[in-house]
Structure 1
């Protein structure tokens, strides 16, 4: 069975998942900024800030931290649904390795969110070293690890399913660009200014999942008329 036949044999609710799941993925993530901004009493300290500043922020803003973590988990849970929706088609196309990449990206953000919650609980009494370890671990898990894996999934899916003609050239090339920028964020580990790849690659990859879901949905509807 080909990837195209796998997707086209899906039921209508399954096909709608391909649109609704990535929409939730993007919407929940975009909600983090305004929601947390309305709840915090000061800006989040940058990575590398003194442990005392980090501890003070997390101690003073446990509700904001918890809300942010919850929205991030909801966001990546929606992404995991999108990955699961595409998984049969990816396996049929000989790319069974791609769904685990998507799930690892999801897991990285969950780990980041859990570590943030732990830090909010422990910050008032934790040592400076513990605060630093928790903050840096959360930052790298939800930043580079999550984004690079997301980019790899997007690039690989655009390549594989584009080859199967589930996507047209615009969607395929959008995936290549978004995925490449997201994967390029790994360079931020060595170069400070490469941190710009993190938000750009992340958001473009998120938007790509919405576009890809809509394209497949419309093609399946047209094929089943």
Structure 2
């Protein structure tokens, strides 16, 4: 459920924000006056968008907690998963808080304050959130594959999604890498849904023997059942 909330709530942001606002959100490097004008005129949109983003990332937190529990056999990896997930969640929550603060104070805040809040929200909810999400996905794909919770397709999907999300950090230096932010984020979100479905089904991939046969079936609870 957490993974679905993570994806659906985030995808709702564009639709709800567009429906409630009278103009497009200015780019992060737009003049402070334009940013202040947008938030002053679209307080309801800004509040709803921030709340949806918070709900989305809390859905991810629930998913990540379940993955950490599954990974307790590898304490170091479990700590890495908990750490990267925690940073990713906090980054988005900080972004939401900064956005709400800007929306409430846009009419009276100075240009410097407006720019600081806008850029802070952008970087926290952008590269900080996405890059750490990518690290989590990479680590989770590896751990779940070693525990035989994931087969090759899901594992490699995680590697690709996690790599693209992690590489979004390059957007800090190269503008063309900005495309990695939405691509890496959405692919990572979709991967969490795929993994949630796989785990909910409760069946692990069947191990092949040296002769290519598969004599037994392993399930998520760790028991072995004959075919």
TM-score (norm 2): 0.88
Deviations 1:72-122 (A, max 9, x none): 000011100011111122222231221121121011101000100000111
Contact between 1:109 and 1:142, CA under 8 Å: does it hold in 2?
yes
Large movers: runs of 4+ above 2 Å: 219-225
Matched with 1:204 is: 187
| 3-state SS, counterpart of residue 91 of structure 1 | coil
Could you tell me which of 197, 210, 215 is aligned with 1:214?
A: 197
CA distance in 2, matches of 1:93, 1:167: 16
CA distance in 2, matches of 1:167, 1:93: 16
The answer to whether structure 1 residue 77 and structure 2 residue 77 are counterparts is no
Contact between 1:93 and 1:164, CA under 8 Å: does it hold in 2?
no
Contact between 2:3 and 2:196, CA under 8 Å: does it hold in 1?
yes
Contact between 1:93 and 1:161, CA under 8 Å: does it hold in 2?
no
Q: Select the structure of larger CA radius of gyration.
A: 2
Matched with 1:8 is: none
Could you tell me which of 163, 172, 178 is aligned with 2:161?
A: 178
Deviations 1:31-73 (A, max 9, x none): 0000000000111001100000000001110000000000000
TM-score (norm 1): 0.88
Between 1:115-124 and 1:98-107, the stretch displaced more is 98-107
Unaligned runs of 5+ in 1: 1-19
Q: Which has the higher contact order (CA 8 A, sep 6+)?
A: 1
Matched with 2:142 is: 159
Q: How many pairs are equivalent?
A: 206
CA distance in 2, matches of 1:194, 1:104: 22
- CA-based RMSD of the aligned residues comes to 1.4
Unaligned runs of 5+ in 2: 205-217
The alpha carbon displacement at 1:220 in A equals 4.4
CA distance in 2, matches of 1:122, 1:91: 45
Could you tell me which of 29, 37, 40 is aligned with 1:48?
A: 29
CA distance in 1, matches of 2:67, 2:48: 29
